[in-house]
Structure 1
Amino acid sequence: MSRFMTLPAADQSERVLDMQKPPLSLADKAYTVIEEMIVTLNLAPGTVFSEAELSRQIDIGRTPLREALQRLTAERLVVTMPRRGMMVTELNITEQLALLETRRVLDHLIATRAAKRATAKHRDELKTLAQALTSAAADKNTAEFMRLDRECDRVLEEASRNSFAAQACAPLHAHCRRFWYAYQNNGDLNQSAALHSALMTHVANDDPEGAGKASDTLMNYLEEFTRSALDLY
C-alpha cells in the first residue's frame, strides 16, 4: 500500500479521559481508527488504497470497514477511484478557507448553546479537557493534543443538544485537525491550546456570551493560520 505508516499507539490522553462512553460498534471503531490515520497523515493526502489492504492493516472486517469508508467519503476525506480503489483527498487551502467560513457559524452556535444547556457532567469534562489540552501543548505532544481536541469537539457538540449542528460540524473539525497537523510547524500549539481552553472554560462557567466570543476568536486564529500556509507554496 502506498505511503502507509504504522498507526501510533494510544497515549496517555486515553487514560486522562475515561468519559465512560458506550462501546463502539465495529463500524464506528473502523471510522475512528481510519479518521485518526487520515488526520495524523498516517494515511497521507493522495494515498491510494484498497479495502482489502486497509482491512488487514487495521484488523477489521470488510463490512464494518465499508460502512466507515462510506461515512468518510460523505465527509470528503476519501474518494472512490474507479478500478484503483480509494484515495485520501488532497489538502486545498482555498477549500479550507471556505470550510472555516462555514465552521465559524456552526461553532458559534454550538458554543453558545452548550454554555446554556450543558449538564454538570459536561462542565466537569470540559474543565478536565481544558487542563489536559494545556498540558499536552506544554509537552509538545501533538498526537495527544489532536485526540484531546477531538474529544473537546465531541463534548461541546453533545452539550449543545443540537444534533443537526453537531452532525454538520463533526466532519469540518476532522478536516481542520488534518490541516493543522500538516502545517503544525507554522502554528503555535500553546496558543491553540489557550484559545481552546478559553472556549471550554466559558462553556463550563455557563457564560454563553463569553463562549461565543471565544469561539469567534479561535476561528480568527485558525483563519490566520490557514492563510499563513500560503507562504509555504
Structure 2
Amino acid sequence: MMQQGKAAQAYEEIERLIVFQELTPGSLVSEAVLMEKTGLGRTPVREALQQLARNRLVEIHPNKGVLVPPASVEAQLRMLELRRVLEALAVRLACEAATNLERNAMQEMVQLLEADRFTLRQYLDTVKETHQMIVAASHNEYLADAMAPLQGLSRRFWITHVRDEQAEISQGSRLHAQILRAILNRETEDAEKASHALNDYLVEFAYRTVRARVESR
C-alpha cells in the first residue's frame, strides 16, 4: 500500500515536470535524474514511468533513457475528439451522482474560478483539481482512469503554446465555472453543453497554434 502511494506520488511529480516543461519536450532523461528530481526511489519511479508511458506522456527506451515526446497539434486534436465524449459523460453522471460534500467543494471552486486571480501555475493546478472533482463526482472509476491521461496531455499542450496568458486563463476559468454551475443545478443538458463549449475552445486553441506557426514563418 505504501509503495502504491509512492508510485502515485512519483507519477504526480513527473507529470508536473512534463506539463511545466521542466523536462524539455524531445529530451531524453534517465531514471537517476527523475529519482533526484522527485526525491523518490527507483521502484516507485519505474512504476510511475510505466503508467506515464501507457498514458503517452513518455516513451521508455531501454538502455537509452526516457523520452519526453513533443506535443503535436494532430495528436492534440485526436485526443480532444475522445475527451469530448468522455467529459460530456462525466458531467452528466456528476449531475446525477454528486454528493452534498462534493457539491460543497464544487461551490467553493466556482467562487475561486470566478475570482479569476491566478498565476499560470495556479490556474493549471486549479483546472486539474476541477477535472478531478468532476470525475470523482461521476462515481465511475473506469471513467476516472480514462480521463486522467487525456487531461494531462491537454494541459501539457496548452502550456506549451499559450501566449496571452491572462486572456486564456480568464476564458478557461469562465468555461470551467459554467460546467460546475450546471452540475450544481443538476442541469444535465446545460452541463453537457458547457463541457462541449470547453472542448470547442481547446480545439480552436489548437488551430490557433497552427496559424501562429504559419504567420511566424
Query: Which of these residues, 95, 105, 123, is aligned with residue 115 of structure 1?
Result: 95
How far the C-alpha of 1:40 sits from its partner, in A, is 1.2
Q: Secondary structure at the match of 2:66?
A: strand
Contact 1:122/1:204 (<8 A) preserved: no
Q: Report the structure, 1 or 2, having the larger helix content.
A: 2
Given candidates 207, 212, 217, the residue that maps to 1:232 is 212
Once superposed, what is the RMSD of the aligned Cα atoms?
Answer: 1.4
1:102-140 deviation line (CA, Å, top 9, x unaligned):
1000000001110111001111111111222333xx334
How much does 1:42 deviate? 1.2
Q: Indicate the SS of the match to 1:86.
A: strand
Between the two proteins, the alignment pairs up a number of residues equal to: 208
1:165 is the counterpart of 2:129:
no
Structure 2 unaligned blocks of 5 or more: none
Equivalence for 1:13:
none
Q: Does 1:126 align with 2:106?
A: yes
Residue 52 of structure 2 aligns with which residue? Answer: 72
Partner of 2:163: helix, strand, or coil? Answer: helix
Match of 1:93 in 2: 73
Q: Does 1:194 align with 2:171?
A: no
Query: Match of 1:19?
Result: none
Question: How far 1:83 sits from its partner (Å)?
Answer: 2.5
Q: Match for residue 16 of structure 1?
A: none
Alignment partner of 1:218 is 2:175: no
> 2:123 matched to which residue of 1?
145
Instruction: Please report how far the alpha carbon of residue 45 of structure 1 lies from its aligned counterpart in structure 2 after TM superposition.
Output: 1.1
Deviation track 1:51-81 (CA, whole Å, cap 9, x = no partner) reads: 0111012210000111111110000000012
In structure 2, the partner of 1:176 is 154
Structure 1: distance between partners of 2:153 and 2:8: 18
Task: Indicate the SS of the match to 1:60.
Answer: coil
8 Å Cα contact 1:118/1:159 also seen in 2:
yes
Q: Which amino acid aligns with 1:59?
A: G
1:110–1:157: 8 Å Cα contact kept in structure 2?
yes
Letter in 2 for 1:63: T
**How far off its partner does 1:188 sit?**
1.6
The Cα of 1:169 is off from its aligned counterpart by 1.2
The TM-score with structure 1 as length reference comes to: 0.85
Residue identity in the other structure for 1:69: L
Paired amino acid for 1:150:
K
TM-score where L is the length of structure 2? 0.91
- Quote how far apart the aligned CAs of 1:162 are: 1.8
- Whether the 8 Å contact between 1:78 and 1:87 is mirrored in structure 2 is yes
Deviation digits for residues 193-232 of structure 1 (CA, Å, limit 9, x no counterpart)? 0000100111122221111110011111111111101023
